[in-house]
Chains A and B, each alone.
Chain A
C-alpha cells in the first residue's frame, strides 16, 4: 500500500508542472520573482557605459539610500531629440537591475518628451514587483528623468554657446 503510493508522490514532487510552480512556492511560503524579472536579471539588456562628456549623451545617476542601491542610466540622443541608444549600470538587487534593464529597452526609439511619460508603476506592473520592491522601479523612473534633464541642460548650454 505504502509502496504503491510512493512513486506517484515522488513523481509529483520531482516534476511539477510549470504552471503549478507559483502555487508550490506559495505553499512552501517562498516568494518567487516574476519570470520577467528573472529574464532581465539573468540577461540584462544594454549594460555598459557611454562617454559621459559626449554632447549627445545624457547621464542620469540616482540612488536609493535606504538599500544602498545606485543606478546609472545613459541615453544617446540624435539631432531631432530621439533616443537612439541607451546603456545602464546598476549596483543593487535583482529588481533594481531588471527595472533599469527594462527602462533602457523602453526608452530606445522614443522622443525625450515621450520617455518622461514612463511611470514607475508601468515598470513595476511589467515586472510584477511586490510592494517592498516598488522603490526599485521608482529608481528607474528617476534615472530616466535625470538623464533627460542632463541632455537638455547640455543642449541649452551648447545652444547658448553657439549663439
Chain B
C-alpha cells in the first residue's frame, strides 16, 4: 500500500486534526510523502521525539486497528531498513541519511537528495485555510490556482513514481493531460488576473517538462543535468572517440551520398533500430547507476538522433 493511499484512507476529519493539531504528525505525513520518492529516511528538518515514519504508522494503526504484523510489513516496504538493527531501528544512524547506492557506481556520484522542509511539502493555500500538497497546482478546497513552485523536478510535476530514466509513456501522457485539463483556459475565465497568470505559467512549464521527459534523449540529458553531470546539450567540450566518430562520419557520408528514397528509408529504419538499442543500454546504465556509461551512451544517442534528422531532411515525403 502506498503512503498516499494510506493518507487517503484516513477519514478527512482525522486528516484535518492531524494537520492542525499535531505538527509532529504533519511531519510524519510529510515523511510518508517523501517515501513516495523511493527515499525513506527520517526527516531532519525538525526534531521528533521518535522517528516520523514509525509515529505515523503507530497512529494510523491505532485508528485503523490494524494488526501489528501488517504494520511491520508496511514499514518494511516503506522505510530503509537499518543494516545494524533491522527495520524497527529508531536510531539516528548516519546510514539512514544516505541513500543506499546500488550497483557499481562508477563515474560521478549521485548528489545526495535534499530533505524537504515542511514548508516545501505542504503550503498554505493562497485562497483558503487548506494546505496544498507539493506539486498541487489548484487547491482541492477552493480551486484557487497556486503560484508556480520552481523547486519541483519535472518528474515530481507529473507525480511519476521516481526520478528514473524508465518511465511509463502512457502514464506520463495521462498525467500531462490531467494537469492541462485542470488548467484549461475555459476554467480560468472567471478567475482573477493573478490566477490566470499562474495558470498560464503552469501550462507553459508543463508543456516544456512533457516534451523533455517524452523523448529518451532529452530525458537522459535532463537526468544527467539534474545529477550535476556535465553531458549532453550542456556539454561544451569536444570528444575524440575515434571509433564512434569514424562511424558517425561514415554514416553521414552515406546519407549525403545517396538520393535514392529506398536507400534512405532503409538507413532510417536502421537508424531507428540503433536508437532503440541505445535507449535500452542507456536504461540499463541508469539503473546500475553507471553515470560514465550513461554519458557516453547519451553522446552516441545524440549523434544517432542528429543522423535521423539529416535523413528525414532528405526524405520530405516521410
Contacts and interface: CB of A to CB of B under 8 A. Distances in A.
Chain B binding site: helix, strand, loop or mixed by DSSP? Answer: helix
Interface of B: 231-242, 244-246, 248-249, 252-253, 256, 298-299, 302-303, 305-307
A61 B236 contact: no
Nearest to A140: B238
B303 A142 contact: no
Nearest to B234: A66
Nearest to B249: A70
Contacts of B242: 61
Interface of A: 60-68, 70, 72, 89, 91, 135, 138-139, 142, 146
Given A68-B305, A70-B245, A91-B252, A61 B233 contact: no
Contacts of A139: 238
Given A63-B303, A146-B240, 12 more contacts: A60-B240, A62-B239, A63-B241, A66-B232, A66-B233, A68-B305, A70-B245, A70-B248, A70-B252, A89-B249, A135-B236, A142-B240
B238 A138 contact: yes
A61 B303 contact: no
A63 B252 contact: no
Contact of A66 (B245, B302, B305): B302
25 contacts: A60-B240, A61-B240, A61-B242, A61-B245, A62-B239, A64-B239, A65-B231, A65-B232, A66-B232, A66-B233, A66-B236, A68-B302, A68-B305, A68-B306, A70-B248, A70-B249, A91-B248, A91-B249, A91-B252, A91-B256, A135-B236, A138-B236, A138-B237, A142-B240, A146-B240
3 shortest interchain CB distances as A-B pairs: A68-B306, A65-B299, A91-B252
A44 B213 CA distance: 39
Contacts of B302: 65-66, 68
A70, A135, A139, most chain B CB atoms within 10 A: A70
- Which of B233, B236, B307 has the largest number of chain A CB atoms within 10 A? B236
Contacts of A146: 240
Contacts of B241: 63
Contacts of A64: 237-239
A91 B299 CA distance: 16
A63 B235 contact: no
Contacts of B233: 66
Contacts of A89: 249, 253
Contacts of B235: 65-66
A142 B239 CA distance: 9
Nearest to B236: A135
Contacts of B307: 68
Contacts of A65: 231-232, 235, 239, 298-299, 302-303
A47 B235 CA distance: 28
